Amino acid sequence: LFPQAGAAASARPATRGTTPTTYRASPAVSARVQKQFSEFMARQAGADGGRQVADAMRRTDPVRNWSQLVASDGLRPGDSADALAAYWVLNWVMANRGDNNRAQTLAVREQVRPMIAANPAYSNLNEGQRQEFSEVLMLNFLIQQAAYVDAMKRGDQRAQQQLGDAAVARFRNEMGVDLRTLTLTDRGLVQRR
């Protein structure tokens, strides 16, 4: 689903039935994800940017930070559907300069859960790989949310527009979805009429 997720599908075939979206978190997986993410950020934002991200992750627990930001929307760590819903909603908010509420966010979660479970690449992931997929989404959420909140606090319309355009491009490239053609409702994300 997301190239930067870094979670490779295992060679074993998917089992029949519903693929779980939940996982038990392992500190070793979190440490590996954070190391890989800081290396990714160093390639994207330069060595200093990578060091800043690594330092921030050493000072505070990113999963706990993510959890605190999304708790009022009813989302929690330990479930890939929650991580993906938060990522979708944040990117929709940035793309449309919109807002969201708990009912809308939970509706998106229920939309993405079957999408994840039906995805053959996801259904082949083991528990650690489901955690990796989820935590990469959480880290991307934290970086994007911080940039967007900063732009809003500064009243920087240009930065807000650039972040919204980047969200649109990301979803168009990664998922084939135009976030600006969707409306966030209590039934989730629906096509605008």
Q: Are the CB atoms for 77 and 138 separated by under 8 Å?
A: yes
- Establish if 1 belongs to a structural domain: no
- The total of other beta-carbon atoms located within 10 Å of residue 190's CB is 14
Strand partners for 79: 22
- Establish if 7 belongs to a structural domain: no
DSSP string, 19-47: PP-B----HHHHHHHHHHHHHHHHHHHHH
Containing domain of residue 59, as a range? 25-191
Number of domains present in the structure of the chain = 1
- Under the banding of pLDDT at 50, 70 and 90, the label for residue 14 is very low
- Establish if 68 belongs to a structural domain: yes
pLDDT above 80 (res 22): yes
- Establish if 4 belongs to a structural domain: no
**Dist CA 5 CA 129 (whole Å):** 9
- Establish if 50 belongs to a structural domain: yes
Tens of pLDDT along 143-170?
Answer: 999 999 999 999 999 999 999 999 999 9
- Establish if 106 belongs to a structural domain: yes
pTM equals 0.87
- Establish if 18 belongs to a structural domain: no
